């Protein structure tokens, strides 16, 4: 398959997923399984797990960049696939938790409250923006367009790393207030 054909083939999926995932998360965030008569105990064990998965994602991203800088394309590719897998696992657990539990309110006060909300808001906005960036970056690698892949990866990497790290920070800041 020609390189341009690969990109064109996936462009529709990139657009679709970049719209559907944030919308689905927003809707599912409001929908509780109990609203449908499904009696499921809150999956309160998930937040520390998905926060850990975010931390693992950050480590994988840094390791992947180091691998490619050292010329190890195979290791880079494996680590990036693992990072994508971790992000998908995070998303599934995050949605599952929020479909079974009410949102936790941040209970901190003073400057920390503003720091928390700044981190949370930037985390949410960038977690939406990172979806198409990761997908485009990945497809360019699949299409063997490594010059274009490298250009967008320089944008994708710091944003994805920020989202992964701030996911852990948000969890650590709000965890004392979980019921």
Give 17-61 pLDDT, tens digit per residue.
999 999 999 888 788 888 888 888 999 999 999 999 999 999 999
pTM of the predicted model over 0.95: no
Residue 63: band (very low, low, confident or very high) from pLDDT cuts 50, 70, 90: very high
* Model pLDDT, residue 158: 98
Helix (H, G, I), strand (E, B) or coil at 154: helix
Task: List, as one string, the DSSP characters of the chain.
Answer: --HHHHHHHHHHHHHHHHHHHHHHHHHHHH--GGGGT------TTHHHHHHHHHHHHHHHHHHHHHHHHTT-HHHHHHHHHHHHHHHHHHHHHHHHHHHHSPPPPP---THHHHHHHHHHHHHHHHHHHHHHHHHHHHHHHHTT-HHHHHHHHHHHHHHHHHHHHHHHHHHHHHGGG--
Mean pLDDT, range 159-163, rounded to an integer: 98
Q: Tokens representing 125?
A: 């906005």
Give 99-132 pLDDT, tens digit per residue.
999 889 999 999 999 999 999 999 999 999 999 9
* Model pLDDT, residue 95: 92
* Model pLDDT, residue 68: 98
* Model pLDDT, residue 3: 55
- Out of 9-18, 71-80, 112-121, pick the least confident: 9-18
Is residue 1's pLDDT more than 70? no
Between these two residues, 107 and 3, which has the higher pLDDT value?
Answer: 107
Give 133-156 pLDDT, tens digit per residue.
999 999 999 999 999 999 999 999
CB 129 within 8 A of CB 160: no
* Model pLDDT, residue 2: 52
């Amino acid at each position: 398959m020609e390189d341009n054909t690969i990109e064109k083939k996936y462009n529709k999926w990139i657009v679709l997923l970049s719209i559907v995932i944030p919308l689905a998360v927003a809707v599912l965030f409001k929908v509780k399984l109990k609203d449908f008569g499904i009696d499921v105990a809150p999956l309160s064990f998930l937040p520390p797990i998905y926060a850990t998965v975010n931390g693992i994602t950050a480590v994988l991203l840094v390791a992947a960049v180091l691998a490619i800088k050292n010329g190890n394309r195979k290791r880079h590719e494996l680590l990036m696939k693992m990072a994508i897998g971790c992000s998908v696992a995070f998303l599934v657990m995050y949605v599952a938790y929020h479909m079974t539990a009410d949102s936790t309110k941040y209970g901190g006060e003073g400057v920390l409250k503003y720091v928390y909300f700044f981190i949370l808001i930037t985390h949410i906005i960038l977690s939406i923006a990172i979806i198409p960036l990761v997908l485009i970056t990945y497809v360019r690698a699949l299409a063997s367009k490594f010059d274009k892949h490298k250009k967008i990866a320089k944008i994708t990497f710091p944003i994805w790393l920020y989202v992964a790290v701030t996911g852990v920070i948000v969890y650590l800041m709000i965890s004392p207030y979980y019921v």
